Amino acid sequence: MAEQSTGAGSGVSFITVDEDQGGQRIDNFLRTALKGAPKSLIYRVLRKGEVRVNKKRTKPDYKLQAGDLIRIPPVRLPARGDAPVVGQGLLEHLERAVLYEDEALLVINKPSGLAVHGGSGVNLGMIEALRQLRPDARFLELVHRLDRDTSGCIMVAKKRSMLRYLHEMLRERRMQKIYHALVQGRWEARDKRIEAPLKRFELKSGERMVRVDEAGKASVTDCRVLRRYGALATLVEARPKTGRTHQIRVHTQFAGHPIIGDIKYGSDDINGEFRALGFRRLMLHAAALHLTLPDGTPLKVEAPQEVEIDRALEQLSLRSRVKQDQDVESE
């Protein structure tokens, strides 16, 4: 664990970097050490030379090494009481949602509607709630992101070394993420690879969107049909080979089958019809993760879908059979 001391009467603190903290950029280190401090403050104290490493000025991209001595100036942070209070109901839900946990890794079945972190108008996110759920955890950081309305497997590192290891696995595509998406209409091809470059852009309103664009970044998603609900909908397994923003959502739309409940890329009219059947959210679920732990142990984690969604799928199955019977009678 890093040693920390405070300059007498000055409010200055000194932290000695341990091996687990080595390898990360100084700006990222400060974001963890000074929780609640805005990015602008962190970069300002770095730019002004108020943060020193081994008594020298440093740049934001400097990578720390074990044994480095960091001088941190006194900064005014939000008082502990200013942090959003997490309701007991959410804490209990997240405790039940733990899919896997060891001394270095936590995997949560994130509910739809919960942002992974606060910001952009969201006071409280999953990571802030987890820090209150695990108050003794010295380090808790998101390994990756999920859209607010996407549910399912999300990894949280409890050690800096695990965060680095998993980021390397993601970069080298040695981790398999498996999603289930309920899409509009009948998806014909049982197996399909979608290769379509994606580019981010902004609407005049400021809303961020993604579209297929030849000038975008290469993006690949492998899809396989799990179940068809007549001509109404199809349950598809999606395995992204790249990790672009909104990749599965835009790729399924590009294939002619937007995800049900997608207010950005779907149809309001069709989404309304499915809401009446109980589908009141984006129907994209991070169903499983396959990876290898640092000691070589294979790990497979599966996230069950919400009970309400299982019931809605039963209603959809019944509706599709009724429609098929009606179509046969009309022939």
DSSP collapsed to 3 states, 108-165: EEECCCCCCCCECCECCCHHHHHHHHCCCCCCCEECCCCCCCCEEEEEEECCHHHHHH
Contacts of 210 (CB under 8 A, 6+ apart): 198, 199, 200, 201, 244, 245, 246, 247, 249, 250
- Maximum alpha-carbon separation in the chain: 88
Catalytic residue (one of 20, 68, 136, 147): 147
User: Which residue from 223, 285, 288, 299 is spatially nearest to 254, judged by alpha carbons?
Assistant: 223
CA distance 154 to 142: 8
Q: Active-site residue 147, yes or no? A: yes
- Annotated catalytic residues are 147
